[in-house]
Amino acid sequence: MSRLIVWRHGNTDWNAGHRVQGQTDVPLNAVGRQQAVDAAELLVKMRPDAIVSSDLQRAADTAAALAALTGLSISYDKRLRERYFGDWQGLTMIEVAERHPDQYDRWKRGQEVGGAVESLPDLGKRVCEALHEAAALAPPGGTVVVATHGSAARQGVGQLLGWPPAQLRTLRALQNCHWVELTHDRDRGWQVAAYNVGRFTDRPVPPPA
């Protein structure tokens, strides 16, 4: 049975300030760097065979914490970048609601935002393609860790599992430096083993039925 760990990056100042990051290249802050180190100490016990990361700095630096413990090199894939949020990037959600009320309302209802904001199907497709290629880097029964972003992780995992949008919306957002553990075998395909797991998680959160 092979294993794929889809890992959200550590905290940034924009996370702390509730600003939309999207594909803006915001670095980890001190909290995020420590989160990455703490999480890496758990993930190294899974004996990863490969590490793949978004090329945005916050994900790449998160992956680097695990690379430092394993001695593995990091492969970078632009398809693992966060969702592109267009004019929302750099704004707080309060500012988004004030400046783009119609788009914000559609976003709250789980509908396509429109405008320059990347569609969820497009996001899911590109991230899922990257996850498939990342998983192929490990030998049978091996483990690959992928460092990416919150929206990218959820949508990519949902596409990989073949979940419909309504089911995917039941998943809460990944916390900073938490991950999804997926397993794969020939008979059952991809399955969720754990969701939103991290350094300060008491127990894995089961996926929806």
Q: Does the active-site annotation cover 133?
A: no
Which of these is catalytic: 82, 100, 118, 181? 82
Nearest to 110 by CA among 175, 155, 73: 155
Which of these is catalytic: 9, 100, 149, 178? 9
Q: Does the active-site annotation cover 9?
A: yes
Asked whether 62 and 53 are in contact (CB, 8 A), the reply is yes
Residues involved in catalysis: 9, 82
